Amino acid sequence: MCNHYRLNALRADIAKALDVSVIQPVQWKDEIYPRGTAPVIISHEGRRKGGPMSWGVPTTIEGRKKHVTNARNLSSSFWKGMASRPLNRCLVPFTSFAEPAPGKDENGRPAEHWFTVTDQPIPCFAGLWRKVNDEHVFAFCTTEPNPLVAPHHPKAMPVILLADDQERWLTGTYEDALQLQAAYPSQMMEIKI
């Protein structure tokens, strides 16, 4: 499951590429891991606004607190409330994402395959967000992998939105959200092994 991505872009470039009218000051690391802070875009009163959120929606499973980073089953009781309300859908900008690879990298860490999108300067994952206590948290949706990702990670891949589908994700119906939970065309992606 994707639990590591990069966003190598300036705040002003994100605002311009994604037509964000207001983007709050936010600092993030180039490599974003669960529980990390990242910029997230929402639609509010007909305008796109961006700000910092923490990656991972908290829940308690078998008495243990866990932060869920990926949303696969949008009809489950855990996700349906957020997925069915446009107010709780968001765009999660990224520049590349990782999936696990066998072995270790040159630094002795778990190896990863990195995937990028070639038709957008700053693509977005389809995300869900909510407020928990005083914190804004998000997760992004996953789906069956496309032919590029499947040989390296057959379980799933993030839902990446075509540029023309971003507004539909933010403002459309629940049925729209379910239809957009699909694999990105592999011919518009590259892999770095």
Q: What is the pLDDT of residues 146-176, one digit of tens each?
A: 999 999 999 999 999 999 999 999 999 999 9
Kindly state the DSSP code that residue 119 receives in the 8-state scheme. S
Of 44-53, 104-113, 170-179, where does mean pLDDT reach its minimum? 104-113
Q: Whole-model pTM above 0.85?
A: yes
- Please tell me the distance from the alpha carbon of residue 46 to that of residue 48, in angstroms, as a whole number: 7
- Residue 185 above 70 pLDDT? yes
pLDDT of residue 191: 94
The Cα–Cα gap between 178 and 143 comes to 11
With a pLDDT cut of 70, the percent of the chain lying above it is 99
pLDDT category at 67 given cuts 50, 70, 90 is very high
Q: What is the pLDDT, as a whole number, of residue 102?
A: 83
Nearest to 124 by CA among 39, 186, 56: 39
DSSP code per residue over 21-38? SEE------SEE-TT-EE
Domains of the chain: 5-192 (3.90.1680.10)
What does the block give as tokens for 80?
């349906």
Q: Which residue has the tokens 């057959």?
A: 154
Would you state the structure tokens that stand for residue 47, as one six-digit string?
Answer: 């305008």
Q: Find, among 141, 150, 146, the residue nearest to 188 by Cα.
A: 146
Per the model's pLDDT, the better-predicted residue between 153 and 185 turns out to be 185
CB 139 within 8 A of CB 125: no
Mean pLDDT calculated for residue range 82-92? 97
Rounded Cα distance between 24 and 102, Å, is 39
Distance of CA 24 to the CA centre of its chain: 19
Instruction: Determine the pLDDT at residue 24.
Output: 82
